[in-house]
Amino acid sequence: MTNLMPRGFRALIACTALVLAPVTLTPVTAQAEEFINILTGGTSGVYYPLGVGLSQIYADNIEGARTQVQSTKASVENLNLLQQGKGELALALGDSVKLAWEGDADAGFKAPLAKLRGIAAIYPNYIQIVACSSCGATSLDTLKGTRMSVGAPKSGTELNARAIFAAAGMSYDDLSKVEYLPFAESVELMKNRQLDATLQSAGLGVASIKDLSTSIDVNMVAIPPEVVEALGAPYIAATIPAGTYQGQEADVPTVAVVNFLVTHEDVSEETAYQMTRLLFENLATLEAAHKAAAQIKLENALSGMPIPLHPGAERYYREAGLM
């Protein structure tokens, strides 16, 4: 009987049926889910608590963001992971960032990491060498013959250790034993009298050295100005103020190197913009995560940046009048 209907009337019925028929639609969200993996360092260092702080800030303020904090071997591993797209933001030491951009194989970069992009210069890492009081080491030359941990293999800390020893006319051969261990493991071996000293590149008041100084008597080992001068950029002279650690009664001269927040070119401009903006708008929250954040200043954000800025970060700095 349908075949006897006029063609136009049949088309009208078909269209009406389509309009009235139930339709299953996939819900459309206002913004696609954004995943931000933050690459940090060992859990007893400074990178990790700062990463946790940033993770919370981004989760609370970037619509649709899912954040994660990944504990790593720090700078060198972080930069290689960024190049592979296995993270969206990383903390890393300035000398490691520079060597990654150049592709320094000895430092752990098989080829130039051309995808890296800068977000901000943040706080300086202080090179903190701690020796047990019983071994008597208070200066670089008196470390000769000691058993020492110089950081995880080819980590930013270990690159610092190599550079400092070379600038002082020394090498690992001057030590009786060299261990390549993260901060917490180094401290445990010192507590157990299996190591005499550890070099740790971190913000002042790092948890691992605080723990060590409350457990055994230690000396902070001085790094003199002539070694700092031999090192050159990106290293700068610095001081570990008296009272930073238990039993430390005097200022100790040392060397520092600036840390950077780094991303990669495949992160969207909007995400990089928000990560940069929220960093500087929430410094009090970040300082609550670790006091090293008190040294993060907007006016220093571009100081010594060894790689190109991400366009999203550049957008923020133009708005802020920094560019």
Contact 221, 138 (CB under 8 A): yes
pLDDT in tens, 162-198: 999 999 999 999 999 999 999 999 999 999 999 999 9
Pull the structure tokens for residue 256: 């520092």
- Cβ atoms within 10 Å of 124's Cβ, excluding its own: 22
**d(C-alpha 21, C-alpha 64), whole Å:** 33
CATH code for the structural domain at 125-257: 3.40.190.10
Provide the pLDDT for residue 279.
98
Asked if the domains at 34-124+258-319 and 125-257 fall in one CATH topology, the answer is yes
Grouped pLDDT means (10 residues each) for the chain, 323 residues: 45 41 38 86 91 98 96 95 98 94 94 98 94 94 97 87 96 97 95 97 91 96 95 89 96 95 98 98 96 94 94 98 95
pLDDT of res. 19: 39
| pTM of the predicted model as reported, rounded to 2 decimal places | 0.76
For the chain, how are helix, strand and coil distributed in percent, rounded to 5? 40, 20, 35
pLDDT score of 318: 98
CATH of domain 34-124+258-319: 3.40.190.10
The DSSP letter of residue 114 is T
Sequence spans of domains, the chain? 34-124+258-319, 125-257
Q: Quick check: 173 and 9 in contact, CB under 8 A? A: no
Q: Is 108 helix (H, G, I), strand (E, B) or coil?
A: coil
Query: Which pLDDT does position 32 carry in this prediction?
Result: 60
Q: What is residue 29's predicted lDDT score, i.e. its pLDDT? A: 35
H-type alpha helices, 68-182: 75-83, 94-102, 156-167
Q: CA-to-CA distance for 44 and 206, rounded, in angstroms? A: 8
- The pLDDT, as a whole number, for residue 304 is 87
